[in-house]
């Protein structure tokens, strides 16, 4: 496996991102560095926030200080192939199971417990699979614009077209894809920050393969296993969706209806696009902080 590593100089002077890099080795035969931000009191209850397609820990830059100031420990990993994490150079180096293994090794390396999980868009499938593997470590789940297929929708033509575009298009503009998912215009420096992990197209194998890895894994059996697990989840499950994201509109309803832990929770709709971290950082952070009040009082 050939591994690329984005030079740290690409990340100098990023706006609102003063967080020192931390790394965990999540490889087995080959060393593989996973980058993460760890911000807040080390002994505090952990809040693990996962980025979605195209993003990296920079996505949560405005939320991490708010969560930490509330007395929580904000932890935001960059998935392998994204951000400051190592980037295997071939799309064939990535799969759902590999992403899941890498995230689980990171989680276990920190020995985290009483975790509040914040997940977003299609990466929610990875996040929830991680909870399935380590259910006792998680206390609550907050799903933001989560894409959890209910029937055959993940095999719809539009999903296959997106996978084909991501895998084969000579043009894969990550910053512009982030911009398409926000209602506010990003600044030039913010767009540059989303482009920073990718000096050239060789570094984008993880980003290009992500949709395909999720789609190939999430066949009927896996979908049934996931919903069977969710329909037995008794701990708090909170949905936080946006009012201006056509791609996930209505996705909160089956989650609220079918997950026992969603009953009576303070579900909310925020004003913004797909990436609420960019459009509604303060409100999104408040949802997390309010949900974690039992941990803060402990």
Tell me the pairing of strands 33-39 and 73-77.
Answer: antiparallel
**What integer pLDDT is reported at residue 212 of this predicted model?**
81
Q: Which of 56, 53, 47 is nearest to 21 (CA)?
A: 56
Give yes or no for residue 107 having a pLDDT over 90. yes
**What integer pLDDT is reported at residue 217 of this predicted model?**
65
**What integer pLDDT is reported at residue 204 of this predicted model?**
93
CATH superfamily of the 3-297 domain: Alpha/Beta hydrolase fold, catalytic domain (3.40.50.1820)
Give yes or no for residue 21 having a pLDDT over 60. yes
CA distances, 163 to each of 94, 180, 183 (Å): 14, 17, 24
Lowest mean pLDDT among 105-119, 166-180, 196-210: 166-180
Would you place residue 6 in the very low, low, confident or very high pLDDT band (cuts 50, 70, 90)? Answer: very high
Pairwise CA distance, residues 126 & 173, whole Å: 24
Contact by Cβ (8 Å): 21, 30: no
**Taking residues 229-252, what's their average pLDDT?**
94
Burial of 208 (0-12, 13-18, 19+ CB in 10 A): buried
Pairwise CA distance, residues 155 & 149, whole Å: 9
Q: Is 239 helix (H, G, I), strand (E, B) or coil?
A: strand
Give yes or no for residue 150 having a pLDDT over 80. no
Torsional sign, CA 127, 35, 52, 237: positive
Give yes or no for residue 153 having a pLDDT over 60. no
Q: Which of 181, 209, 175 is nearest to 195 (CA)?
A: 175
Burial of 142 (0-12, 13-18, 19+ CB in 10 A): buried
The overall average pLDDT reported for the chain is 91
Pairwise CA distance, residues 127 & 34, whole Å: 16
Would you place residue 219 in the very low, low, confident or very high pLDDT band (cuts 50, 70, 90)? Answer: low
**What integer pLDDT is reported at residue 216 of this predicted model?**
67
Identify the DSSP state of 160: H
**Taking residues 180-207, what's their average pLDDT?**
95
**What integer pLDDT is reported at residue 158 of this predicted model?**
42
Pairwise CA distance, residues 261 & 253, whole Å: 14
Lowest mean pLDDT among 15-19, 59-63, 157-161: 157-161
State phi, psi for 239 to the nearest 5 degrees.
-100, 140
Lowest mean pLDDT among 214-223, 236-245, 276-285: 214-223
**What integer pLDDT is reported at residue 156 of this predicted model?**
44
Domain ranges of the chain: 3-297
Contact by Cβ (8 Å): 277, 270: no
Lowest mean pLDDT among 38-47, 86-95, 148-157: 148-157
């Amino acid at each position: 496996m050939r591994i690329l590593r984005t030079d740290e100089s690409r990340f100098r002077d990023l706006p609102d991102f003063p967080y020192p890099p931390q790394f965990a080795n999540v490889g087995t035969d080959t060393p593989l560095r996973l980058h993460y931000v760890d911000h807040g009191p080390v002994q505090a209850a952990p809040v693990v926030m996962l980025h979605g397609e195209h993003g990296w820990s920079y996505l949560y830059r405005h939320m991490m200080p708010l969560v930490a100031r509330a007395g929580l420990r904000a932890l935001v990993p960059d998935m392998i192939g994204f951000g400051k994490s190592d980037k295997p150079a071939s799309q064939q180096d990535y799969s759902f199971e590999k992403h899941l293994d890498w995230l689980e090794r990171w989680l276990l390396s920190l020995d985290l417990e009483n975790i509040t999980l914040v997940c977003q868009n299609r990466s929610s499938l990875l996040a929830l699979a991680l909870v399935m593997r380590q259910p006792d470590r998680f206390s609550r789940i907050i799903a933001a614009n989560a894409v959890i297929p209910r029937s055959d929708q993940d095999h719809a033509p539009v999903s296959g077209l997106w996978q084909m575009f991501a895998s084969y298009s000579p043009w894969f503009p990550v910053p512009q894809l982030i911009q398409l998912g926000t209602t506010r215009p990003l600044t030039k420096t913010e767009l540059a920050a989303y482009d920073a992990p990718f000096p050239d197209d060789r570094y984008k194998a993880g980003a290009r393969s992500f949709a395909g890895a999720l789609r190939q894994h999430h066949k009927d059996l896996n979908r049934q296993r996931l919903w069977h697990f969710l329909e037995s989840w008794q701990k708090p499950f909170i949905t936080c969706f946006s009012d201006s994201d056509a791609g996930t509109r209505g996705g909160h309803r089956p989650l609220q209806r079918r997950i026992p832990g969603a009953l009576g929770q303070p579900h909310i709709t925020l004003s913004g696009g797909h990436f609420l971290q960019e459009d509604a950082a303060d409100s999104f952070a408040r949802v997390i902080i309010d949900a974690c009040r039992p941990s803060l009082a402990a």
